[in-house]
Amino acid sequence: MAIYLYKHPKTGETFEIMRKMSESDKPFFAPDGIKCEKIIGNFSGWKKNKEVYEADGDLVKKTNPRYIRLQNGRKVRYDPTKHC
């Protein structure tokens, strides 16, 4: 599962939708029925200059990964007592 961003063409509102990767090319329709365009690579909710466990700790706790990748590229073993 991955998070995809879609932008409403009239209102400019963005929607963060979690979908299977196999469904990534399916169109997304806003609640008002208008087809939204897919935004690639710009995650509005992401906080810059923070590690993943600092920016979205709830998601990390929910997925409970074995390893996390830090901003400097190092892969470290995930420790919930240290990283959240």
pLDDT value for 42: 47
* Residue 74 belongs to a domain: yes
Residue-wise pLDDT tens digits, 26-65: 899 999 999 999 887 545 455 556 676 676 677 777 777 8
Mean pLDDT over each residue of the chain, to the nearest integer: 79
Say if residue 35 is in the same domain as residue 56: no
pLDDT value for 84: 61
Q: 37-76 burial, b for 16+ CB within 10 Å, e for fewer?
A: eeeeeeeeeeeeeebbbeebeeebeeeeeeebeeeeeeee
Say if residue 8 is in the same domain as residue 30: yes
* Residue 23 belongs to a domain: yes
Higher pLDDT, 78 or 59: 78
pLDDT value for 83: 66
Q: What CA–CA distance (Å, rounded) separates 14 from 54? A: 23
* Residue 44 belongs to a domain: no
Domain hosting residue 58, numbered range: 52-83
**Residue of 65, 61, 3 whose CA lies nearest to 28:** 3
Count of domains forming the chain? 2
